[in-house]
Chain A
Amino acid sequence: MSEGSKVYGILLEFEDPQNLVVACRKVRDAGYTRWDAHTPFPIHGMDAAMGIRGTRLPLLILAGGLTGLALALLMQWWMNAVDYPFLISGKPLFGLPANIPVTFELTVLFAALTTFFGMWGLNGMPRLYHPVFKSARFRRATADRFFIVIESDDPLYQTEGTSDFAASLGAVAVEELED
Chain B
Amino acid sequence: MSQPHVMPSLEGEKLTLDEVGPRILIGGSILGVVGFAAAIAIGVGRNDHLASLGWSYLLNFAYFLSLSLGALFFVAVGHLTRATWNVVSRRIGEVVAVNLVLMAVMAIPLMLMASRVFPWASGLTHAPEELLEHKRPFLNLPFFYLRWVVYFAIWAGYAVWFWRQSVAQDRSGDPRITMRMESRAGLSLLLFALSVNFASFDLLMSLDPTWFSTIFGPYYFAAGVVGFFSLLTLLTFFLQSQGRLTRAIHVEHYHDYGKLMFAFVFFWAYLAFSQYMLIWYANIPEETAWLLRREENGWGWIGLVLVFGHFLVPFAGLLSRFTKRLRATLFLWALWILVMHWIDLYWVVMPEIRPLDPGLDSLDLLCFLGFAGFYAAALSRWAGAHSLLPERDPRLQDALAFENA
B-contacting residues of A (Cβ < 8 Å)? 16-18, 21, 41-45, 49, 54, 58, 62, 89-91, 97-98, 100-101
Contacts and interface: CB of A to CB of B under 8 A. Distances in A.
Contacts of A16: 2
Nearest to B282: A89
A42 B4 CA distance: 12
B273 interface: yes
B405 A42 contact: yes
Interface of B is mostly: loop
Contacts of A18: 2, 4
30 contacts: A17-B2, A17-B4, A18-B2, A18-B4, A21-B4, A41-B1, A42-B1, A43-B1, A43-B2, A44-B1, A44-B3, A44-B4, A44-B403, A44-B405, A45-B4, A45-B5, A45-B403, A49-B4, A54-B321, A58-B320, A58-B321, A62-B319, A89-B281, A89-B283, A91-B281, A97-B273, A98-B277, A98-B281, A100-B277, A101-B277
B211 interface: no
A17 B2 CA distance: 7
Nearest to B280: A97
Nearest to A16: B2
Nearest to A45: B5
B308 interface: no
Nearest to B252: A44
Given A62-B319, A89-B283, A97-B277, 8 more contacts: A18-B2, A18-B4, A43-B4, A45-B5, A45-B403, A58-B320, A97-B281, A98-B281
Interface residues of B, number: 16
B273 A100 contact: yes
Contacts of B3: 44
A18 B321 CA distance: 28
Contacts of A45: 4-5, 403
Nearest to A46: B4
B276 interface: yes
Contacts of A42: 1, 405
Nearest to A20: B4
Contacts of A21: 4
